[in-house]
Amino acid sequence: MWADGAQKPEFAGVNEDFEHCPTTNSSCAVNLEQVLNKRILLMAKYFDVIIIGGGLNGLSAAWQLSRLSNLSIGLLDQFEIGHQRGSSHGMSRILRSTYPDPDLIHLMSVVLQREWPELEKACGQKLVHQTAGCLFGPDDGLFDSYAQAVSEAGADIDLLSEKQATRRFPAFNFKGLSALADNSAGLIDAMQTIQVLKRLAEENGVQMIENIAVKAIEVNTDPIVIDTAKESYHAQYLIVANGAWADRLVPELSSHLKVVRQTVGYYAVDEKVVCTPRHFPVWVYLGMNENDVFYGLPEFRRPGLKAAKHLTEVDGNNPDILVEANAEDLEPVTSLLRQRLKLPIQSLLSCETCLYTMTPDHNFIIDNHPHNPNVVIGAGFSGHGFKFGPLTGRLLAELVLKQTTSIDIFNRMRGKFALPVKDGIL
Tell whether 96 is covered by a domain: no
Last residue of a domain, one of 330, 358, 386: 358
pLDDT at 102: 97
Tell whether 9 is covered by a domain: no
Do residues 242 and 313 both lie within one domain?
no
Q: SS3 of 109, please?
A: helix
Given the DSSP bridges, would you call strands 305-309 and 258-269 parallel, antiparallel or unpaired? antiparallel
* CA 56/CA 381 separation, integer angstroms: 11
Do residues 236 and 352 both lie within one domain?
no
Tell whether 422 is covered by a domain: no
Query: Among 287, 341, 294, which Cα is nearest to 143's?
Result: 287
Given the DSSP bridges, would you call strands 293-297 and 365-369 parallel, antiparallel or unpaired? unpaired
pLDDT at 358: 95
Q: SS3 of 157, please?
A: strand
Q: Which stretch of DSSP H or E encloses residue 165? A: helix 162-168
Query: Among 339, 389, 364, 357, which Cα is nearest to 87's?
Result: 357
Do residues 293 and 186 both lie within one domain?
yes
Tell whether 5 is covered by a domain: no
* CA 118/CA 113 separation, integer angstroms: 9
* CA 366/CA 415 separation, integer angstroms: 10
Contacts of 356 (CB under 8 A, 6+ apart): 87, 259, 260, 261, 262, 311, 312, 381, 382, 383
* CA 277/CA 269 separation, integer angstroms: 15
pLDDT at 32: 57
Query: Among 401, 403, 402, which Cα is nearest to 418's?
Result: 403
The answer to whether the CB of 283 falls within 8 A of the CB of 246 is no
The domain that contains 373 carries what CATH number? Answer: 3.50.50.60
Tell whether 227 is covered by a domain: yes
Do residues 315 and 409 both lie within one domain?
no
For 266, other C-beta atoms within 10 Å of its C-beta total 21
Tell whether 384 is covered by a domain: yes
Query: Among 166, 174, 98, which Cα is nearest to 138's?
Result: 174
Do residues 187 and 293 both lie within one domain?
yes
Last residue of a domain, one of 337, 358, 379: 358
Last residue of a domain, one of 311, 339, 358: 358
Note the residue count of the chain.
Answer: 426
State the first-to-last Cα distance of the chain, in angstroms, to the nearest integer.
32
Work out whether the CA dihedral 46, 47, 51, 54 comes out positive or negative: negative
Cis omega (within 30 of 0) for bond into 223? yes
pLDDT at 396: 98
* CA 293/CA 358 separation, integer angstroms: 15
Do residues 170 and 197 both lie within one domain?
no
pLDDT at 31: 59
**What single letter denotes the amino acid at residue 227?**
D
* CA 125/CA 372 separation, integer angstroms: 38
The answer to whether the CB of 357 falls within 8 A of the CB of 55 is no
Do residues 214 and 336 both lie within one domain?
no
Do residues 200 and 114 both lie within one domain?
no
10-residue block means of pLDDT along the chain (426 residues)? 42 42 48 50 76 98 97 97 95 97 97 98 98 97 97 96 96 97 98 98 98 96 94 97 96 92 95 89 96 96 97 86 93 97 95 96 95 96 97 98 97 94 56
pLDDT at 38: 47
Tell whether 3 is covered by a domain: no
Do residues 41 and 176 both lie within one domain?
no
What is the domain extent for residue 119? 102-191+256-358
Do residues 109 and 160 both lie within one domain?
yes
Tell whether 140 is covered by a domain: yes
Q: Which stretch of DSSP H or E encloses residue 246? A: helix 246-249
Do residues 197 and 330 both lie within one domain?
no
**What single letter denotes the amino acid at residue 9?**
P
Structurally, the chain folds into a number of domains equal to: 2
Torsion of CA 307, 310, 316, 321, to 10 degrees: 20
The domain that contains 141 carries what CATH number? Answer: 3.30.9.10
The answer to whether the CB of 131 falls within 8 A of the CB of 278 is yes
Do residues 173 and 271 both lie within one domain?
yes
